[in-house]
Amino acid sequence: MPLLARQALVGTLYVATFKEEGITSADQDFIKRLAPRAAISLHNARLIELEQRQRQIADTLREVTRIVNSTLESEEVSGLVLDQLGQVIEYDSASVQLIEGEHRRIVGSRGFFAGDSPVELLKNVSKDPLVSRIVREKQPMVLSNVKDEPLWDIVPQTAHIQSWIGAPLVFGGNVIGLLTIDHKKLGYYTQATGAIVATFANQVAVAIRNAQLFSVAQRRNRDLEVLNESAIKLAQAPQADQAFRAVLDAVIQTLECDYGTIFFGRCRQYVGFLCFGGQAVWGAASASV
């Protein structure tokens, strides 16, 4: 017997008996009276479950927002967001990947790989048709059965994966990375699941971009400090070699290099600054230039 709630089918009631007399008229009347009540109860239970699910997602997203606003480290925030995502969507493994030009780099992972990853798992964007499609379309891709997707590349490290979601990290209209999750069960993910993952991906994109901007600002401030200190040293330097040292020191600190040299072309002399393990070594010598 169909279970209808608000003219929508919510289930089917099936009744069988081993009694010789079978299902009597009285039994049928009871079932007919029971079915509408069962349908309403089932419908209400689903509504409550859906409300609880939505509340859980909302609470988790609020926690993600707090995390995003509390740290400016890409690796830290990526891992914490993946932990929060795992509370609302089950996965066997997950990763947050940054796209830098053609290259992909993992900045956060759970249950999968960390650090250096096999080359075949992190192909360049243009050499991975699946990733290229996500980057081009800027939309999450949900695979309920990876074997049904021609673009899915099966390698030994991912042979156990049956369901997969890849969501782009989009900031300012540009894809800066990916958030991926997978599961060993077939048909585990749906389009609704993909929409939730996409929401988390948006939060990760904001966090990573903020971290990048903060890093650039830190670098700029550090460079300005080095330049200001160098200007003071140059103004106070009583001798030329001290001035040269101040210049080289500024260049080495700003560019984070290990070696710097100032050449005097005509007199074939140079003054050099070497940095080994943080110790400065100065020298002057002839050079054929």
**Integer Cα distance of 42 and 197 in angstroms:** 28
- Could you tell me the two tokens for 18? 């081993």
Find out whether 149 and 186 touch, Cβ atoms under 8 Å: no
Domains and CATH numbers, the chain: 1-70 (no CATH), 73-209 (3.30.450.40), 217-286 (no CATH)
The SS3 assignment for 109 reads: strand
- Which residues are CB-contacts of 78 (< 8 A; sequence separation ≥ 6)? 96, 107, 108, 204, 207, 208
Q: For 160-177, what is each residue's pLDDT tens digit?
A: 999 999 999 998 899 999
| End-to-end alpha carbon distance in the chain | 97
- Entry pTM: 0.60
Task: Name beta bridge partners: 276.
Answer: 279
* 269/191: higher pLDDT: 191
Q: What is the pLDDT of residues 10-55, one digit of tens each?
A: 778 777 878 877 888 887 787 777 777 777 777 677 667 777 667 7
Among residues 270, 87, 255, 94, which one has the least CA distance to residue 178?
94
